A and B are shown apart, each in its own frame.
Chain A
């Protein structure tokens, strides 16, 4: 070290030299302007920070690719196959893969590749539909309960608890039986009916932790009304966990749809869905046929994509990981 040690007092012992008055050169900790503003990076908001972080995560990139492909397939199945999934010829029953029919044919003689492609739409529709309803209902209930507290909180939380206590699949099985002609929309409404309490809980917790911040108090002290404070300050700061849970549960609703269709009380057999195809394919499983493998894999990859996306978002939006 180049720092000089000034020794004021005469050397009387070891202690004096070792603990003499030491002054660092002025360059060290030159006082300068107190708390000067040093900003040399581009402006960052929480979302742009999260985006920069996400771009570098393999988990996020893989999930994005999966989700984009699944949505494209669901939206425009015609781009991916020219074969009609409903054109079945028993002459082709159980035939293996061939040119133009990559996955082969099922027991009815339908093209499996085409059915897998067309099956994506039901899954994505149910997943997105249920999640949208759950988001709206859950966030409104949760935010009102969390922000206002008191009896509103007690009432809304107990209602949510009642629904929460009934397992999603069990409730859906019981309820779906009541409908003779089921469509995608019946399924969406039934799943949403029992799916919102989870979102309400998450939203309520996020709102409670956000509303205790001083900026909420400052906003009230400015004369901003309660509702506006909730919408302008509290909700935007509660979004991160809500988005994470929404993404993950989207995958779960797709699984629920497949489960119900598999059990025969989801979508009618006239609709093409992965769950229904898995169900019809299971009789062929014992013959060592791989038919079941195709819709099941498509389902697994789709769900994996959404759950991976949720995990990536959770990591990127984690407030503890962000710089203060």
Chain B
């Protein structure tokens, strides 16, 4: 308990809170009246303290943060409660006071570094603008100060960087520039709204470490908004868990993690991928699943369901050898440069297992997935599926191949055709491959929806009526319609909230056992890998860095890069009490 208290003189008994929110209510105006978004939220931030608000999307965590600086989007309005900043109530304050307050006393690091810097102005100008707006420095002095701030935010060659435009910066560099802007006026409170959600894990770690150091040094209090329980627990002393606009549980970070008391928090902690440490099925069960998978395919062969297009089903469903993809980037008419997205990648996927390909953005993992799916032709090397090279298939064989390998994509909002009802969506594969009569197809769709735990009543619905997780379940049903042997999941759970993600992973795991499926799982999240994969390929800049079983990767990683990735899992070092 005492380890969570920050050291220093502020820790006295009569200390005054920097920010105190009491029974805050925020509502949005809609056609049908006021819709409450934040309901009776109370929280306290002391000077120099880091407090994190954790919640799923729609929990009201960002709305609470934006209410503090009166930057609520659209029709949002504070409808009750108090926001006391240094004892002054902001809920009633006029806009003029907020202008003075923002930047000056309360800094903001926004969520998306890609859209929060103005692309037409140089980065230096945008930092100087913050300095001038808050009346700190002007002209030449501002320029010098901007360079100092950028350097402080951890960018090398800060002076040269000032003259660059945002598009010349990587995501991590942009976020550092935004941190420099947020801290430019030395505010007492910094609101960091999902500051690293759009960044790769290793960059996330660097940036958060740096932010921690900086705010500690300056004595800035931080209000961290995040969806990641592990990250919150690692970075904050005090946690506020929100759901549906209410505070569910609040308390010291470690205590909440180790002894959550509210059932919702308990569920959240149990589902947090970064905190879970085990494969979902025991190794014994895994062996059974493999055996079952071989039986399933053996039976299918006996019944002639697999057809003549492919040879005998092999133990390795997919074998990729020397897979390389080079994209030509054209500059003008004749000139072009080669960009090697995937470089000499070889691997085999054993039947009935899950192989994960892990890597950061730009590692080429999705390109590998597209080549395995036969949607992209490799520049050299080949993918062999059940003994046949995917690139050499003729029309009929391609159709047969499509039945046996199906994808599930990342974005639940783009994966379903908005003009198709759920029934038509799930029926489409059956219709395309002319499976069964109309009545048989309808029965099959019902059966598939049942498998992914959706009621048959959703058949007449359209995708826009379903949540992200539900859409992803429909996408799984569509992928399973043709009884494939292998499913390629390209970041299939990355866009989902923790609890829903947990639910989908459980579903995928159960379906694997039931149907003897083989998964190729593409993800950036090592924490998810640990829960679902048997074998892991770690990729970086197009090449395989490490190839091993999941246990080996997590207990004794051989490569420096893998170790770096493992260390970057937020909250990975936190031990959960019994």
- The answer to whether A binds B is yes
In the complex, chain B residues whose CB is within 8 Å of the CB of A15:
11, 13, 15, 17, 44, 46
| A12 CB–B CB distance under 8 Å | yes
| A218 CB–B CB distance under 8 Å | yes
| B36 CB–A CB distance under 8 Å | no
| A82 CB–B CB distance under 8 Å | no
Whether B249 lies near A218 (C-beta < 8 A) is no
Q: Which residue of the partner chain, among B238, B262, B375, B415, contacts A23 with CB atoms under 8 Å?
A: B262
Q: Which residue of the partner chain, among B251, B375, B399, B402, contacts A217 with CB atoms under 8 Å?
A: B375
In the complex, chain A residues whose CB is within 8 Å of the CB of B465:
39, 41, 43-44
In the complex, chain A residues whose CB is within 8 Å of the CB of B302:
none
The residue on A at minimum CB distance from B249 is A23
Whether A14 lies near B13 (C-beta < 8 A) is yes
| A221 CB–B CB distance under 8 Å | yes
Whether A215 lies near B248 (C-beta < 8 A) is no
Asked whether A214 and B249 contact (CB < 8 A) given A35-B499, A220-B375, the answer is no
In the complex, chain A residues whose CB is within 8 Å of the CB of B28:
none
Whether B267 lies near A44 (C-beta < 8 A) is no
In the complex, chain B residues whose CB is within 8 Å of the CB of A218:
407, 409, 415, 475, 478
The residue on B at minimum CB distance from A47 is B419
Q: Which residue of the partner chain, among B11, B264, B475, B503, contacts A29 with CB atoms under 8 Å?
A: B264
Looking at chain B's contact residues, the main secondary structure is mixed
| A101 CB–B CB distance under 8 Å | no
Whether A45 lies near B419 (C-beta < 8 A) is yes
Whether A30 lies near B415 (C-beta < 8 A) is no
| A213 CB–B CB distance under 8 Å | yes
How many contacting A-B pairs (Cβ < 8 A)? 163
| B322 CB–A CB distance under 8 Å | no
What's the Cα separation between A215 and B413 when bound, in Å? 9
Give the contacts of B183-228 with A (CB-CB under 8 A).
Answer: none
| B250 CB–A CB distance under 8 Å | yes
| B350 CB–A CB distance under 8 Å | no
What's the Cα separation between A222 and B374 when bound, in Å? 11
Whether A43 lies near B460 (C-beta < 8 A) is yes
Asked whether A219 and B247 contact (CB < 8 A) given A21-B252, A43-B460, A237-B417, the answer is no
| B467 CB–A CB distance under 8 Å | yes
- Binary flags per residue of B271-290, CB closer than 8 Å to A gives 1, else 0: 00000000000000000000
| A165 CB–B CB distance under 8 Å | no
Asked whether A22 and B249 contact (CB < 8 A) given A214-B411, A223-B433, the answer is yes
| B428 CB–A CB distance under 8 Å | yes
For residue A276, give the distance in angstroms from its CB to the closest CB of chain B. Answer: 44
- Binary flags per residue of A1-25, CB closer than 8 Å to B gives 1, else 0: 1010000010011110011111110
Whether B20 lies near A214 (C-beta < 8 A) is no
For residue B4, give the distance in angstroms from its CB to the closest CB of chain A. Answer: 10
Whether B462 lies near A22 (C-beta < 8 A) is no
Whether B264 lies near A14 (C-beta < 8 A) is no
A-side interface residues toward B, CB under 8 Å?
1, 3, 9, 12-15, 18-24, 26, 28-31, 34-35, 37, 39, 41, 43-46, 49, 213-215, 217-224, 233, 236-237, 322-324
Task: Beyond A14-B15, A43-B421, list 8 extra A-B contacts (CB 8 Å).
Answer: A14-B13, A21-B255, A23-B251, A34-B503, A35-B500, A217-B409, A222-B432, A223-B432
Ranked 4 nearest A-B pairs via Cβ: A21-B251, A13-B13, A223-B402, A29-B243
